């Protein structure tokens, strides 16, 4: 016996989360650790330096570009 799926009658647009809700940055400063973790990397001195450079060149958008 199959069970009804509650989302089956909804359009795909109603089921998708809008982009403006997906971004986690709340206007606070972006740290190198945030960028490293958002990139899926381990926090190492080399990765932290990479993140610092990325923040210097891209600003807070460096984090936004890594998030969905």
Q: What is the pLDDT of residues 13-41, one digit of tens each?
A: 566 766 655 555 566 688 999 999 999 99
pLDDT in the model for residue 21: 57
Task: Find where tokens 């490293």 sit.
Answer: 36
**Entry pTM:** 0.60
DSSP 10: S
pLDDT in the model for residue 37: 92
Nearest to 63 by CA among 26, 29, 41, 38: 38
For 31, list phi and psi in degrees, rounded to 5: -100, 155
pLDDT in the model for residue 35: 94
Q: What is the pLDDT of residues 34-54, one digit of tens each?
A: 999 999 999 999 999 999 999
pLDDT at 9 over 60: no
């Amino acid at each position: 016996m199959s069970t009804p799926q509650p989302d089956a009658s909804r359009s795909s647009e109603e089921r998708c989360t809008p982009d403006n809700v997906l971004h986690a940055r709340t206007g606070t400063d972006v740290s190198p650790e945030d960028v490293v973790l958002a990139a899926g990397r381990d926090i190492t001195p080399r990765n932290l330096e990479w993140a610092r450079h990325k923040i210097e060149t891209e600003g807070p958008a460096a984090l936004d570009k890594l998030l969905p």
